[in-house]
Amino acid sequence: MTATLSVTGLHTHFFTRAGVVKAVDGVDFDVAPGEVMGLVGESGSGKSITGFSIMGLIDEPGKIVSGSIRLKGEELVGASEEAMRALRGNRVAMIFQDPMMTLNPVLRVDTQMVEAIRAHEKVSKRDALARSRDALGMVGIPAPEERLRAYPHQLSGGMRQRVAIAIAFLNEPDLIIADEPTTALDVTIQSQIIHEAQSLCKRTGTALIWITHDLAVVAGIADRIAVMYAGRIVEAGGIDAVIDTPLHPYTVGLLGSVPTSNRRGERLTQIPGMPPNVLNLPEGCTFRERCPRATAECRHEPAITEPRAGQAVRCFHPHGGGA
Amino acid sequence: MNPILETRAVTKRFSKSLDFAAKLARRMGANVSEETVHAVDGVDLAVMPGEVVGLVGESGCGKSTLGRMVAGILPPTEGSVMFEGADIAAMDRAEARKAALEIQMIFQDPFASLNPRMRVDQIIGEAPLFHGIASRAELPDYVDDIMRRTGLDPSLKRRYPHQFSGGQRQRIGIARALAVKPRFLVCDEAIAALDVSIQAQVINLFVDLREELDLTYLFISHDLSVVEHISDRVVIMYLGRVVESAPIADIFDAPNHPYTVALLNEAPRLDQRRRAFEPVKGEIPSPLDPPTGCHFHPRCPHAHARCSAERPALREIAPGRLSACHLNDG
């Protein structure tokens, strides 16, 4: 089976007056059809910029410096703006944290949905409308007929996010990138949204990249997980492997920071210090200044190794590896 | 032991009075009326000295409004807030000021809650100087001590808030609250805006400070796993009312109220992988027009006729456990 999306050696840098921000600095991953990949990291780790790079949404002063992004074999880096426009909303779609990034506040929901369909396909308005209604029904919106005639401000936050998801799924894209889609929502609404996204991916075979800082959400939805730190993927693998037996000291620290029921009231293991300034990243391993296992060797760049089958890590001294 | 803080049937209503156009429209016979939000609807809460009470609920449930009333920022519409057995509203000025110092609040947004034009030592030192807790001569040492306690480097005290990261700013907010030697802290989503690894640092700080300074917390959060970690007792709110209150172990092992059950089922957890989410149906109703009877009945899988007619009372169902559900009546 060929991967839906294959990213290799992606470097996205921002050339600011203060210096070069290496927001994404060497990222590789594949996503298979129907697979849900969780892309996890803290703010500034480059997880969102990775998503924007795939969508071709990097603006000045940012630039994809090198690397390749292939969607079903087709190279997206360096593709013309015209080609990207034909792709966006059709074969790749994005769901943002704030649904108002997707929705136009002065247009009715039906206008926006019909537009999204007719931009990519020659169908009659009536057919497009029927498809929009079905899409709203699919994401669990009650009375889709009425909601179609509503303006975004007449809907609640959860409803708006559902509409945004329905629009993302409208043209049954190969790939959807969801950037913190449930972070602003309440727990009960969050679980409804996750439920819809999960079942839609299963049904349509759409690959999904779920970008979040919340490890617990990723544990609930993803098949595979990639952990980013300071522009690089430091660990990637199957969800069970990475969460149960993490290899990278950063992943270990991150998991220790999440309160769980079996350590009620105990001190959390905290990662000392703060994420590094992206303008001035340390040489070698970017985590070494906060890492309890760092040695002199860490001044050099660690290569990606696979101590366990299917679980890759970028570290000289991974946990459980005996080193 | 008497509670350090107690609210008795405390209620907060916000109403939007009619503007000129609306009044005119009403006079002409249009069906316009004042909109009233019952943000908090008759809540009884008691917090024992040294206890950490987690206040959990989704947006619009009134948890922040309740926290603000406890901290004395908002006056209650009805009911009373008691500090050490005395009604704060009935106190004379000196007593009320003392109570106000004893209860401090820590806010969610470390970017909005610090004055950007004041240096850190001014932010932390202003209140203790004003209230005579530290004299002008003692102040620098006093500020240094509090900064060290909250994990800040005192050599940075002449900087401005924008020169700090989010986690450090939250520490400044905590230092500011601690500077007046409070005994009770209201933490309103105090770690929600921070990154995971920084969250852990601040949670640990709260745990340490509680032991060092013998503090009592009202810890308001939407994040169940954080509340489970830090609290002794949890109070769950839904649309302005308390639906369940219980010691931490009881509520997570055997929740009683259907809303608590739903909330616990749906909170994502690390140990549940690729699970099928089975969400509770429906949305949170508007607090402008809450459902009759039990507020949760339109979404409740066990609702019956009585639930839409009669408001269930918050009753003791086991020692130390309260729940407001008709199902407990058999």
Alpha-carbon distance B278 to nearest alpha carbon in chain A (angstroms): 7
pLDDT of A237 reads 94
B262-282 pLDDT, tens per residue? 888 888 888 777 666 667 777
Cβ-defined contact of A268 to B228 (cutoff 8 Å): no
Question: Considering only CA atoms, which of B271, B218, B262, B227 is closest in space to residue B248?
Answer: B227
Assigned token pair, A49: 């910029």
Among B56, B273, B296, most A C-beta atoms within 10 A, so best to mutate, is B273
What backbone phi and psi angles, to 5 degrees, belong to B165? Answer: -80, 170
Tens of pLDDT along B182-234? 999 999 988 887 888 888 888 999 999 998 899 999 999 988 888 988 999 99
How many angstroms separate the CA atoms of B327 and B330, rounded?
A: 6
In the three-class reduction of DSSP (H, G, I as helix; E, B as strand; rest coil), residue B326 is classed as: helix
> Candidates 3.40.50.720, 1.25.60.10, 3.10.310.10, 3.40.50.300; correct CATH number of A1-35+45-79+221-261+268-323?
3.40.50.300
DSSP state of A88: B
Subunit contact A156:B283, Cβ cutoff 8 A: yes
Counting beta carbons within 10 angstroms of the beta carbon of residue B296, is it exposed (0 to 12), middle (13 to 18) or buried (19 or more)? buried
Spelled out in words, what is the top-level CATH class assigned to the domain B5-238? alpha beta
> Residue B90: beta bridge partners?
none
Neighbouring CB atoms inside 10 A of B49's CB total 15
Please judge whether A254 and B197 are an interchain contact, meaning their C-beta atoms are less than 8 angstroms apart: yes
pLDDT band at A323 (very low <50, low <70, confident <90, very high): very low
A259 and B226: CB-CB below 8 Å? Answer: yes
Q: CB–CB of B196 and A258 under 8 A?
A: yes
Could you give the percent of chain A with pLDDT greater than 70?
98
* Nearest alpha carbon to residue B21 among B30, B12, B13: B30
What pLDDT sits at residue A69?
A: 95
Q: Which two tokens stand for residue B317?
A: 């169902």
Substitution target in A48, A160, A190, A268 with the highest count of B β-carbons within 10 Å is A268
DSSP A213: S
Give the model confidence (pLDDT) of A45-54 as tens digits: 899 999 999 9
Structure-block tokens of residue B162: 């924008």
A280 close contact with B: CB closer than 8 A: no
CB contact under 8 A, A219 and B271: yes
Residues B156-178 have pLDDT tens digits of: 899 999 888 888 899 999 999 99
Q: What is the structure's pLDDT at B7?
A: 93
Amino acid identity, position B84: E
Per-window interface: B 224-283 vs A, CB < 8 A: 224-226, 228-230, 248-249, 252, 262-263, 265-280, 283
Interface contact B167-A274, CB threshold 8 A? yes
Order of strands across the sheet with B78-83? B35-47, B5-16, B78-83, B86-87
d(CA A184, CA A190): 9
Sorted by where each begins, the domain ranges of chain A are 1-35+45-79+221-261+268-323
pLDDT in tens, B273-319: 766 666 777 777 887 888 889 999 998 888 889 999 999 999 999 88
Predicted local confidence at residue B125, as pLDDT = 94
Instruction: Give the H or E element holding residue B244.
Output: strand B241-247
Res. A141: pLDDT tops 90: no
A143 touches chain B (CB under 8 A): no
Smallest CA–CA distance, residue B269 to chain A, in Å, is 5
- What length is written for chain A? 323
pLDDT, one tens digit per residue, over B87-114 is: 998 999 999 999 999 999 998 888 888 9
Helix H or strand E encompassing A211: strand A207-212
Q: Given an 8 Å threshold on Cβ–Cβ distance, is A216 in contact with B270?
A: yes
Q: Residue B30: is its pLDDT beyond 80?
A: no
Helix (H, G, I), strand (E, B) or coil at B311: coil
Identify whether A61 is preceded by a cis peptide bond (ω within 30 of 0). yes
Quick check: B317 contacting A, CB < 8 Å? Answer: no
Instruction: Say yes or no: B167 contacts chain A, CB-CB below 8 A.
Output: yes
Amino acid at site B244: E
For B119-128, write each residue's pLDDT tens digit.
Answer: 999 999 999 9
B229 vs A265: CB contact, 8 Å cut-off? yes
Q: At what angle do helices B166-178 and B196-213 cross, to 10 degrees?
A: 20
What is d(CA B57, CA B74) in angstroms, rounded to the nearest whole number? 19
Q: Does B195 touch chain A (CB under 8 A)?
A: yes
Instruction: Tell me which residue has tokens 């074999």.
Output: A73
Total number of residues shown for chain B: 330
Task: Compare CB distances from A259 to B203, B271, B274 and report the shortest one's residue.
Answer: B203
Q: Could you read off the pLDDT of A282-306 as tens digits, one per residue?
A: 888 989 888 999 999 999 989 999 9
Q: Is B32 on the interface with A (CB under 8 A)?
A: no
A220 CB near a chain B CB, below 8 Å?
A: yes
Interface list for B 105-164 with A (CB within 8 A): none
What residues in B contact A43, CB-CB < 8 Å?
Answer: 195
CB-closest option in A264, A267, A274 to B204: A267
Contact yes or no for B219/B184 (Cβ under 8 A): no
**Would you call B25 an interface residue with chain A, using a CB distance cutoff of 8 Å?**
no
Task: Tell me what pLDDT residue A91 has.
Answer: 92
Q: Do B272 and A219 touch (CB under 8 A)?
A: yes
Q: Check CB contact of A295 with chain B, cutoff 8 Å.
A: no
Nearest CB among A219, A240, A270 relative to B200 is that of: A270
Question: In which element (H, E) is residue A69 found?
Answer: strand A62-71
Instruction: Tell which residue, A178, A170, A174, A82, has the closest CA to residue A129.
Output: A170
Residue A263 pLDDT > 80: no
Boundaries of every domain in chain B: 5-238, 239-269+279-330
| Token pair 């109070």: residue | B235
Confidence of residue A322 (pLDDT cuts 50, 70, 90): very low
One-letter identity of residue B209: L
Q: Which residue among B199, B266, B270 sits closest to A187, beta carbon to beta carbon?
A: B266
Handedness of CA B159, B164, B168, B170 (dihedral sign): positive
What 3-state DSSP class applies to A56? coil
Residues whose CB is less than 8 angstroms from the CB of residue A92 and which lie 6 or more positions away in sequence, other chains included: A54, A55, A71, A173, A174, A175, A176, A177
The predicted pLDDT at position A321 comes to 53
Local structure of A55: helix, strand or coil: helix
In this complex, is the C-beta atom of B198 within 8 Å of any C-beta atom belonging to chain A? yes
Q: Cβ distance A237 to A49 under 8 Å?
A: no
User: Does the distance separating the beta carbons of A187 and B222 come in below 8 Å?
Assistant: yes
Contact predicate A241/A248, CB 8 Å: no
List CB contacts of B185: < 8 A, sequence separation 6 or more: B103, B104, B105, B106, B177, B215, B216, B217, B218
CB atoms within 10 A of CB A59: 8
Judged by CB atoms closer than 8 Å, whether chains meet at B204 and A268 is answered as: yes
- For residue A261, give the nearest of B199, B252, B265 by CB distance: B252
Sorted by sequence, the CB contacts under 8 Å of residue B326 that are 6+ apart come out as B294, B304, B306, B307, B310, B312
Task: Indicate the pLDDT class of residue B31, thresholds 50, 70 and 90.
Answer: confident
Give me A82's structure tokens.
Answer: 């015209």
The interface pTM score, or ipTM, of the predicted complex is 0.77
- pTM given for the model: 0.83
Q: Who wins on pLDDT, B35 or A262?
A: B35
A191 part of contact set with chain B, CB < 8 Å:
yes
| Partner B contacted by A271 (CB < 8 A) | yes
Non-local CB neighbours of B228 within 8 Å, separated by 6+ positions:
A259, A261, A264, B54, B234, B248, B252
Does A220 contact B273 at a Cβ distance shorter than 8 Å? yes
At B330 the pLDDT is: 66
> pLDDT tens digit string along A80-130?
999 999 999 899 999 998 888 889 999 999 999 999 999 999 999 999 999
